[in-house]
Structure 1
Amino acid sequence: MNWLVTNLEQKVQNFQNEITFSYGKIFWNNKVQFIQKENLTIWVDGYLLPNYENFEELKGLSQLELVHFLYKKEGLDFPKSLKGIFTLLVYDGNTLQIFSDQVGIKKFFYFKQGSKFGFSDSLKILSNLLPKVEIEREALVDHILFNHHILGKSFVKGISFSTNATKVQIDTNFQVSCYWKFEELLDKKNLKSLEKSPQFFQKLVNSYLDYLDTKKFSCPITGGIDCRTILSAVDMDKFDISTYSYGNEKSLDVIYAKNLTKKIGLKYQNYDLNDPIEEEYQDLAKKIITTGNALTSIHRSHRLNAVLREAKNNDTMFLGYMGGELARGLFPDDLIISSFVRKTWNGENIKESILCSFKEASFKFNEQDIEYALKRVNELKNWFESPNKYFHFSLEMMSEIHFAQDINLFAQFCSFVIPVYLDIDYLNYIFQTEFNLLNRTNMTQNPILRLKGPEFHLRIINELNPKIAKEKLSKGYSPKDYQSILKLGISVLKNRVLPQKDESNFTYRNWYEKFIQKYDFSSMSDFFDVEDESLINKEFSTEKTCFNLSRILEGSLYFKEYK
């Protein structure tokens, strides 16, 4: 809870600062950066920095000075010259403007009822301003179909949340619009060469360390290449770097992470939450419920456990989210990419898939729910009918919603959470190369195309850090092997003939079953058949069973938190 803008007369507590403006009041806490300069009042919630093109010229300005300078220079187009994870408020004495970051990672919430309005980074604060808190049934339908709340429709009836590049204008009118669209990434004419990619990526990563003035950071590590690529861009002798994993000690991800960090001399810790004590998990789940704005699943407890421990010693954290998906394509898993989305992509009957999803979730659906679901799918033609449907889905759902839940959760405990592959300059660059999901897909069965998928990352690692390049990935080959077709072929063939024994990195079964079954689901009984024995008493044989149950549990816990 960092800030609130409203014209309601209700008494508001728990804020350290407030001012009255022409159309209401603005409240904020000291965590929000604030400046009054000339005729502008500026608030920054989160962090920001100059974009790649202007970095050298503007890196000497503080975050607030940067906003002021760009606003004066570029007017209302100024957010396009910024990047980071932020919400900006700018008041010029007549109009209040609120902006989300271009990718839409950091969310704010808002409602408008007649002439009354409210905006805040906290769904709970806004819920407290409503005369009555009700669950938004349509948001539950969204969640059943897509495993997430989407397109700005929140769990609380009447409250929406920001999406990518949201712009709000409050003066005599109330307008919500978008100042930039993801489609603009597709309008690039000049293709970038692979040869210059390592230098670009190195400068990109180090611009964060330079501008945020940090000599110390944390970074997760697995058996894959996304975070290795980030580490390869940093001079390890100049920074105090901590690396970590979260999961089963016997999984290949943990084994290869441990081996890599030992070889290159980095601090490493694995945080294994596969068999937590009940109280420990309850505490993590409570933190998610109280800070997750009903957009974050308690499934993120594994990650939060690791981040809480890392944040004790590091205020800056790099993340590798979407590195693989944007460069190599998507892979439906029925969780991040829901079974409904997979079936629709495969051309299965949409109405039958909707009904199947409703029944699997033990949802008490009616004709209006079916009509809404069909309407929703029709609204999402970019996800299902566009030639670039994987592009739209990866950015508008996976990046902006799924991985944003982690980034926003972690940012509650760590000041600078940096998802490098969601940096707007990186997105502009990757979609000016041939090395992106528009040209490649993890869904292909062609082994040659699958092998070419990680080419972009491996080129960067090989050129920037030969030491990391020598160490094998969990796929059985090293980045250095990729430079030789013969070595790569031998490594891949060996891994196929003699596959490595792997264990699940983490599981939602056993301890999760105990956690879920101790709760009362009665507050969700209007929406779900909480007495359905096949749902509640069924053996937890699949992750999907756990997911359907946790949807109901989270609904109950969030509703209890907000009502």
Structure 2
Amino acid sequence: MREDFLVTYKRSDSPDIGRLTLQYDSNEIKLYCNSGSLIQIGDIQIFIDGYILPRDIIFDEYSKYDPHSLVHVLYKKFDDDFILNIKGFFCIIILDSYQVKIFNDQLGLYPCYYTSGLKSIDRISNSVDLLKSDGFTLKPDYSSIVIKSLIHRNVPGKTTFEGLEKFLPATCLRINDQSVLKSQYWKYTSLLELKKKKRASSFENEANFMNRLFSQFLQYLNPDKQYISLTGGKDSRTGLAALKSLSKNPVGFTYGNPMSRDVIYAGLLADSVKIDHYIIEPESSVDYFEDAVSDIVKLGNPDINLFRLHRFNAFKKVSDKSDSQSAYFAGYMAGEILMGIYYDNLIFTNFITDFWENGSLNSIADIAYNYFIKDQCFDDKAVLDDLHKLECLNPDLSRSMKQFHGLFEIGIPHHAQDIFISSNYFSYTYPFFLDIDLLEDLFYGNFNLFHTDNTTKNPFKRYALYAYNLNIQHLLFPQMDQVPFGKRGSYNTREYLRGSFYWSVIKTIRFFTERKTYPPSINYDETFRQFLLQWLNQINSDRNSELHMSFNIEEAISELSLISGTTQEGILHKYSNIVMLYMQLNYYK
């Protein structure tokens, strides 16, 4: 459901991109996109991919305008500062008086990539596939590969390929025949200024604000149908409460083992509020893994990890049931924003969290060796230089400040994978806790990680961790109060609202008396390891692959062959990284 584009600058060659057409040509600047996706209004032309809507402060005045007209009216009034008045998941291109201006959303959820020639940026696109069509050849950036092994993400603005860079969040790129200027129109650190101006807010006010944001989203975009991912947890339930308070009946879906705790409790919730609920059980066959990962690579986004395949499958299957204008609601990042970061060695690796606790970086060479990376293929200094660009690894900051920066440098880019994938199957993906209006509200008030402590073992102090979600849910849709949450020592909102003493006692009793066990929602068995082994053996046989210069493939095969039983994602990253990189390099040849 995306509109691709390619902008070239000072390039004489015509790219071989049959599905797009040349829509703008000023000799030095060319824009290729689908016919009809570049809209002329007055003296400017506007391209929008993704979706936009007016921000809360101007919504009542400007919600009467369709997206392209909204951009036009705001641009004519505020010039480039128009972008401060809209939000969403988007890339906007404005053609104005021989200038091309490109903007992405505040959090960089929408991916834009660019390459550089001798003097400046020469290609920009939302698809690496299109950059390849214009002659760009992908080559591994070994320093970035090492960093991805350390933190499971790229440093903001970088990719794992030489010469391929990515827009930072809130990028504004201005191009004319003489120059290219790049800036950021918003920075997440502005939330810290709001934190300093802290104001008190009641749960009633917060519930009303949440309700208003959902209402604005539905009113402006008017999707035919709503979908929401459900788990046994609290975050998506807040979104469900908001939708139900507006008399909407979204279709719920959960991916995972049907006998897992998450799936069972999600089903209880769906039954309680009388909504349809689909369970997408992970498939387990080598052919399935082959097809799913191959399709992920073809999406043209090299940031996506191989382990998103089950989510990819869920979005694909659910979207088969969707109408032409569908919205997907998800509570990504709510827990981290409200309560702080949990150490799971997945989103936030041990390399990062050990630094937060101990203040020193673990040996890069040792971790690279553990990930089968040959030490002669990367430069320690280059790796450290890039790592030092991350504020979450700034030794001069407090742990809470490091975690704050980690939300935006690591956490949001992680969840952006799912947001991007879902945008290919739903018209509008709404990660409501990443709505910029809600983010600013949470940091302006007391409802964020700076006001909680998720490391405490004191049950009365832990009570505060869940105050926002459970009070908002109760106020928006109290009919859900009796539905238990899917955690060991389960409780429901009604029990929670009786106070910290009652809640802690009943939770503790249930925690120690519960006898029923549940299988994991997602795990990886012998079949998945066989899929990885087949690819590693293929790479080992492909003596022309440049990956032999950087990875000890035989050692990876030997070590993976020794693993048995079911395994968790974190154990397999060092094998899957090699496979995904090989598949990407082959596809983009």
Q: Same fold by TM (over 0.5)?
A: yes
How far the C-alpha of 1:128 sits from its partner, in A, is 3.5
How far the C-alpha of 1:50 sits from its partner, in A, is 0.3
Query: CA 1:292 to 1:509, structure 2 compared with 1: closer, same or farther past 3 Å?
Result: farther
Equivalent in 310, 313, 321 of residue 305 of structure 1: 313
* 2:155–2:386 contact (8 Å) kept in structure 1: no
Secondary structure, aligned partner of 1:260: helix
* 1:330–1:441 contact (8 Å) kept in structure 2: no
Query: CA 1:175 to 1:138, structure 2 compared with 1: closer, same or farther past 3 Å?
Result: farther
Equivalent in 8, 12, 32 of residue 9 of structure 1: 12
* 2:460–2:504 contact (8 Å) kept in structure 1: no
Trace 1:202-281 onto structure 2 (pairs within 5 A).
Answer: 202-235=211-244, 238-273=247-282, 275-281=283-289
State the match for 1:525 in structure 2. 548
Equivalent in 438, 441, 456 of residue 468 of structure 2: 456
Separation in 1, partners of 2:138, 2:277: 45
How far the C-alpha of 1:353 sits from its partner, in A, is 3.1
Trace 1:84-103 onto structure 2 (pairs within 5 A).
Answer: 84-103=88-107
State the match for 1:81 in structure 2. 85
Q: Deviations over 1:283-332 (max 9, x none)?
A: 21111111051110121111111111111233211111011111111011
Equivalent in 208, 221, 227 of residue 199 of structure 1: 208
State the match for 1:359 in structure 2. 369
* 2:377–2:549 contact (8 Å) kept in structure 1: no
Separation in 2, partners of 1:280, 1:546: 18
* 2:44–2:94 contact (8 Å) kept in structure 1: yes
Amino acid at match of 1:530: I
State the match for 1:398 in structure 2. 411
* 2:347–2:410 contact (8 Å) kept in structure 1: no
Query: CA 1:21 to 1:438, structure 2 compared with 1: closer, same or farther past 3 Å?
Result: farther
Corresponding position: 1:322 with 2:333: yes
Amino acid at match of 1:369: D
Separation in 1, partners of 2:246, 2:355: 49
* 1:89–1:98 contact (8 Å) kept in structure 2: yes
Separation in 1, partners of 2:553, 2:185: 43
Query: CA 1:17 to 1:113, structure 2 compared with 1: closer, same or farther past 3 Å?
Result: closer
RMSD: 1.9
State the match for 1:543 in structure 2. 569
Separation in 1, partners of 2:373, 2:118: 32
Equivalent in 489, 507, 525 of residue 504 of structure 2: 489
Secondary structure, aligned partner of 1:431: helix
State the match for 2:354 in structure 1. 343
Separation in 1, partners of 2:47, 2:372: 44
| TM-score, with length taken from structure 2 | 0.91
State the match for 2:185 in structure 1. 179
Separation in 1, partners of 2:12, 2:266: 55
* 1:34–1:64 contact (8 Å) kept in structure 2: no
* 1:470–1:479 contact (8 Å) kept in structure 2: yes
Secondary structure, aligned partner of 1:54: helix
Q: Deviations over 1:359-417 (max 9, x none)?
A: 21011123953212222232223444323111111122211x10001111111121111
* 1:225–1:457 contact (8 Å) kept in structure 2: yes
Equivalent in 485, 489, 506 of residue 522 of structure 2: 506
State the match for 1:556 in structure 2. 582
State the match for 1:160 in structure 2. 165
State the match for 1:55 in structure 2. 59
* 2:228–2:252 contact (8 Å) kept in structure 1: yes
Secondary structure, aligned partner of 1:333: coil
State the match for 1:479 in structure 2. 493
Secondary structure, aligned partner of 1:502: coil
Amino acid at match of 2:6: L
Amino acid at match of 2:588: Y
How far the C-alpha of 1:33 sits from its partner, in A, is 4.1
* 1:535–1:545 contact (8 Å) kept in structure 2: no
Separation in 1, partners of 2:112, 2:13: 20
Secondary structure, aligned partner of 1:291: coil
* 1:362–1:535 contact (8 Å) kept in structure 2: no
Amino acid at match of 1:200: F
Separation in 2, partners of 1:125, 1:56: 39
Separation in 1, partners of 2:336, 2:258: 25
How far the C-alpha of 1:133 sits from its partner, in A, is 3.1
Q: Deviations over 1:78-105 (max 9, x none)?
A: 1111110001111111321111100110
- Between the aligned residues of both structures, percent identity stands at 26
How far the C-alpha of 1:504 sits from its partner, in A, is 0.9
Amino acid at match of 2:389: E
* 1:87–1:101 contact (8 Å) kept in structure 2: yes
State the match for 2:46 in structure 1. 42
> 5+ unaligned residues in a row in structure 1: which ranges?
none
Amino acid at match of 2:498: S
How far the C-alpha of 1:279 sits from its partner, in A, is 2.0
* 1:164–1:178 contact (8 Å) kept in structure 2: yes
Amino acid at match of 2:238: T
- Number of residue-to-residue matches in the alignment: 559
Separation in 1, partners of 2:264, 2:159: 39
Query: CA 1:27 to 1:557, structure 2 compared with 1: closer, same or farther past 3 Å?
Result: same
Q: Structure 1: which 4+ aligned runs deviate by more than 4 Å?
A: none
Equivalent in 100, 110, 117 of residue 106 of structure 1: 110
* 2:284–2:528 contact (8 Å) kept in structure 1: no
* 2:262–2:486 contact (8 Å) kept in structure 1: yes
Separation in 2, partners of 1:215, 1:122: 28
Equivalent in 437, 449, 462 of residue 437 of structure 1: 449
Q: Deviations over 1:412-435 (max 9, x none)?
A: 121111100111001001101212
| TM-score, with length taken from structure 1 | 0.95
* 1:142–1:373 contact (8 Å) kept in structure 2: yes
How far the C-alpha of 1:503 sits from its partner, in A, is 2.0
Separation in 2, partners of 1:182, 1:421: 14
Query: CA 1:342 to 1:538, structure 2 compared with 1: closer, same or farther past 3 Å?
Result: farther
How far the C-alpha of 1:115 sits from its partner, in A, is 4.7
Secondary structure, aligned partner of 1:83: strand
> 5+ unaligned residues in a row in structure 2: which ranges?
none
Separation in 1, partners of 2:576, 2:28: 41
Q: Deviations over 1:198-252 (max 9, x none)?
A: 0000111121111111241100101101111011112468434210100012211
Separation in 1, partners of 2:154, 2:424: 20
Equivalent in 290, 302, 306 of residue 294 of structure 1: 302
Separation in 2, partners of 1:161, 1:542: 30
Amino acid at match of 2:209: F
Separation in 2, partners of 1:245, 1:287: 21
